[in-house]
């Protein structure tokens, strides 16, 4: 015969029943806990990643009576990425390649494996484990980064219509959007270097089809520093995906670049000068020979007349 709750509680103080109820609920679920390795996990674009989710407690687990569901929450909504309930029942997979190892799950490892991570995989992931009638869950945020490919174009330091000379520094394929590009100049008088604050034009970050970004920075070179002075220009690119800033250098010696051709005109001018010099020497030798030849040819006739 069922005992009314009011009668069962008659022997307890009025305020003692609710703490007992809360304690019973805690004990019934306390032995099922999931542990996430960290709150935020950072990976790089196109890498394979494992998002850790460990079930604490006694093992091995009976995976025929348990279920694992992974959810991904982006800026707009949450969707189911992977679901498995009662192996070997069919699994639900909405993200291509997503998987949870059955053998690892028996040992309490419900980690999610994602191959070839893309920027669309960024978001909060929720691991929900059910061992009937108990359940537990944990969350982790997956951050996807893409490192910039950095390129310096000193060969594009050509004279423009305005008479100025420029060099380009480009960062491509990076994510997220925020990036910092600075220029420095090093001379014999200032070997420690100095940040350049003028003559720099940074273009807008252009979004690619894969949601990564490209950006170009243009520097106007200072001709007043390039007369018989070796000058080194440095482009420094800083991004959250880089452990240290990327530094790209090129050097101008006088009006020349580190490649040995100052502005593309030095070698042709030297060649032309050599040709002219050889021609002048040849002309002088030719004229000298003609003068000597005439002198020695005429001199015998003059001496004969005098005799």
Question: Which residue did the predictor score with more confidence, 17 or 122?
Answer: 122
Segment 165-185 mean pLDDT = 95
- Whether 41 and 90 map to the same domain: the answer is yes
- Whether 159 and 133 map to the same domain: the answer is no
Least confident of 81-95, 129-143, 179-193, 224-238: 224-238
- Whether 49 and 97 map to the same domain: the answer is yes
Q: How many domains does the chain have?
A: 2
Residue 55 within any structural domain of the chain: yes
Domain that includes residue 231, residue range: 149-257
Query: pLDDT tier at 163 (50, 70, 90 boundaries)?
Result: low
CATH number, domain containing residue 70 = 2.60.40.10
Residue 184 within any structural domain of the chain: yes
Domain final residue pick, 130, 145, 160: 145
Segment 34-51 mean pLDDT = 95
- Whether 136 and 168 map to the same domain: the answer is no
Q: What is the pLDDT of residue 267?
A: 41
Q: What is the pLDDT of residue 18?
A: 44
- Whether 50 and 131 map to the same domain: the answer is yes
- Whether 120 and 181 map to the same domain: the answer is no
Residue 1 within any structural domain of the chain: no
- Whether 130 and 174 map to the same domain: the answer is no
Q: What is the pLDDT of residue 233?
A: 93
Least confident of 41-45, 54-58, 105-109, 237-241: 54-58
Domain final residue pick, 240, 257, 274: 257
Q: What is the pLDDT of residue 15?
A: 52
Question: Which residue did the predictor score with more confidence, 176 or 269?
Answer: 176
Q: What is the pLDDT of residue 174?
A: 98
Residue 248 within any structural domain of the chain: yes
Segment 187-216 mean pLDDT = 93
DSSP of the chain, one letter per residue?
-PPPHHHHTTTS-GGGHHHHHHHHHHHHHTT-EEE-S-SEEEEETT--EEE--EEESSSS--GGGEEEEEEEE-SS-EEEEEEEESTTSPPEE-STT-B--HHHHHTTB--EEESS--GGG-EEEEEEEEETTEEEEEEEEEEEEBPPEEEEEGGG--B-TTS-BEEEEEEEEEBSS--EEEEEEEESS-TT-EE--SSEEEPPPEE-TTS-EEEEEEEE--GGG-SS-EEEEEEEEE-TT-SS-EEEEEEEETTEETTS-SSS-HHHHHHHHHHHHHHHHHHHHHHHHHHHHHHHHHHHHHHHHH-
Residue 161 within any structural domain of the chain: yes
Q: Kindly report, residue by residue over 248-307, the tens digit of the pLDDT.
A: 998 887 654 443 333 333 344 445 565 767 676 777 767 777 665 665 554 444 444 443
Residue 233 within any structural domain of the chain: yes
Domain final residue pick, 98, 128, 145: 145
């Amino acid at each position: 015969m069922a005992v009314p709750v009011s009668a069962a509680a008659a022997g307890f103080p009025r305020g003692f029943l609710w703490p007992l109820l809360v304690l019973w609920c805690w004990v019934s679920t306390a032995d099922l806990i999931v542990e996430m390795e960290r709150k935020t996990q950072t990976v790089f674009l196109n890498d394979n990643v494992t998002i850790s989710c460990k079930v604490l407690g006694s093992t091995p687990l009976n995976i025929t009576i348990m279920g694992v569901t992974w959810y991904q929450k982006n800026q707009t909504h949450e969707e189911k990425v992977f679901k498995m309930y009662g192996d070997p029942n069919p699994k639900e997979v909405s993200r291509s390649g997503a998987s949870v190892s059955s053998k690892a799950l028996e040992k309490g490892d419900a980690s999610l494996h994602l191959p070839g991570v893309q920027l669309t995989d960024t978001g909060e992931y929720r691991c929900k484990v059910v061992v009937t009638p108990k359940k537990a869950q944990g969350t982790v945020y997956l951050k996807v980064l893409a490192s910039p490919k950095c390129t310096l174009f000193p060969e594009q330091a050509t004279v423009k219509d305005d008479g100025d000379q420029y060099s380009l520094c480009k960062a491509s394929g990076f994510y997220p959007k925020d990036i910092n590009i600075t220029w420095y100049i090093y001379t014999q008088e200032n070997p420690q270097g100095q940040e350049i604050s003028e003559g720099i034009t940074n273009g807008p970050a252009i979004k690619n089809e894969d949601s990564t970004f490209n950006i170009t920075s243009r520097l106007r070179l200072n001709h007043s520093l390039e007369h018989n002075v070796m000058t080194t220009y440095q482009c420094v690119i800083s991004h959250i995906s880089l452990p240290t800033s990327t530094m790209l250098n090129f050097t101008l010696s006088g009006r020349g670049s580190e490649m040995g051709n100052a502005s593309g005109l030095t070698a042709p001018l030297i060649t032309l000068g050599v040709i002219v010099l050889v021609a002048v020497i040849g002309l002088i030798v030719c004229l000298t020979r003609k003068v000597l030849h005439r002198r020695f040819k005429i001199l015998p006739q003059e001496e004969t007349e005098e005799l």
